[in-house]
Structure 1
Amino acid sequence: MEIRAARPEDAPQVVPLFIQAMGGIADTLAGSDQPQEVRAFMSDFFQQPANRLSYQNTLVAEENGQIVGSVILYHGRKVAMLDQPIIDRLRALKNDPHITLDKEAEEDEWYIDTLSVAPGYGGRGIGTALLRAAEERARTIEPTRIALLVDSDNQRAYRLYQYLNYQQDAVVHITHHPYLHMTKKLVDV
C-alpha cells in the first residue's frame, strides 16, 4: 500500500469515499439529497483548488492501482477561505444570501475533515496509516495539534482514535447532530 497526494483525476475513486464518510453532511454541502447531484458536486469541488474538498487537501491510500482510502486535512485558520466557494455556490443555488456552514475546526489546529476506507478493506490498518500520514504532513508544516470529529454513535472509530492518542475535548453539532471533537498534540509543548 502506498499513501500519496491525491490528483484531480482520482475523483471517480475518491468521491464515493468522501460521500461514505460524510453521510448527510455531503447532502448539506451539495444542497441536494439526490445521489447523482451530490456526486457531481463532490467531483467538481474535488477537482478544483482552494476549497475544503480539493485534491490539494487530500491524501489517498492506493493498493494495486486502486484507491482504498482517503483523508482530507487542512489547517483550521484556512476554514473560512476553503468554505467560501461552497458557501457561495449554496447561496446561489438556494437563492439565500444568509447560508453558512457549521464550524468544524478551531483556528489553532489542523483538522482531519474526512477519513474513509473503501468497503472490503476495513481492519487492514489503512485508516491508521492515513491518520499517521496526515499527522506527519501537519507536523512537517506547522506542528501544533490535530483534531477530528467522530459521530457520537460510532464507537468503533472512537476507540481507534483513542488508541491513537486522540482525546475528546468537546461536543460539536453539525447539521443538528452531535459529534465528538478529539485532539492530539503533534509536539510536546
Structure 2
Amino acid sequence: MNIRSARPEDASQVVPLFIQAMDSIAGTLAGSDQPREVQTFMSTFFQLPANRLSYQNTLVAEEDRQVVGIVILYHGRKAAMLDQPIIARLRALKNDPQITLDKEAEEDEWYIDTLSVSPNYGGRGIGTALLRAAEERARAIESTSIALLVDRDNQRAHRLYQYLNYQQDAVVYISHHPYLHMTKRLVDA
C-alpha cells in the first residue's frame, strides 16, 4: 500500500469514497439529494483548489494503482475559509443569503474531515494507516492536536479511534445529527 497526496485526476476514484463516508452530509454540501448532482458537485470541488473537499486537503491510499482509501484533513483555523466557496454556491443555488454550514473543526486543531476505505479493502489496516499519515502531516507542521467527528452510532469506527488514543471531548451536531468530537494530542515521545 502507498499513501500519497491526492491529484485532481483521482476524482473518479476518490468521490465515491467521499460520498460513502459523508452519507447525507454530501447532499447537504451539494444542496441536492439527487445522486448524480451530488457526484458532480463532489467531483468539481475535489478538482478545485482552496475548499474543504479539494485534492489539496486529501491523502489517498493506493493498492495496484487503485485508490482504496482517503482522508481529508486541514487545520481548523482554515475551516471557515475552506467552506466559503461551498457556502457561496449553496446560497446562489438556493437563492438564500443566510445559508451557513455547521461548524465542525475548532480553531486550535488539525481536523480529519473525512476518512473512508473501500468496502472491498476493509479490515486490512488502511484506515489506521491513513489516520497515522494524517497525524504525521499535522505533526510536521508543529500541531499539538488532531480531531475528528464520528457518528455516535458507528461503534466500529469509535473503537478504532479509541484504540489509536483519540478521546471523546464533546458532542457536535451536524445537520441535526449527533457526532462525537474526538481529539488526540500530537506530542513526540
Local SS of the residue matching 2:36: helix
**Distance in 1 of aligned mates of 2:49 and 2:144:** 25
In the superposition, the TM-score normalised over structure 1's length comes to: 0.99
**Distance in 1 of aligned mates of 2:120 and 2:13:** 14
List runs of 5+ in structure 1 lacking aligned partners. none
**Distance in 2 of aligned mates of 1:136 and 1:155:** 25
Which residue in 2 is equivalent to 1:71? Answer: 71
Corresponding residue pairs, total: 189
Local SS of the residue matching 1:160: helix
Which residue in 1 is equivalent to 2:140? Answer: 140
Could you tell me the percent identity over the aligned residues? 85
**Distance in 2 of aligned mates of 1:29 and 1:112:** 17
Local SS of the residue matching 2:97: coil
Which residue in 1 is equivalent to 2:157? Answer: 157
Instruction: Please give the residue correspondences for 1:28-177 in structure 2 after superposition, counting only pairs within 5 Å.
Output: 28-177=28-177
**Distance in 2 of aligned mates of 1:76 and 1:136:** 16
Local SS of the residue matching 1:157: helix
Quote how far apart the aligned CAs of 1:123 are: 0.3
Task: Return structure 1 stretches of 4+ with deviation > 2 angstroms.
Answer: none
Amino acid at match of 2:91: R
Local SS of the residue matching 2:119: coil
**Distance in 1 of aligned mates of 2:173 and 2:29:** 15
Aligned 8 A contact 2:57 2:72 in 1: yes
**Distance in 1 of aligned mates of 2:154 and 2:119:** 16
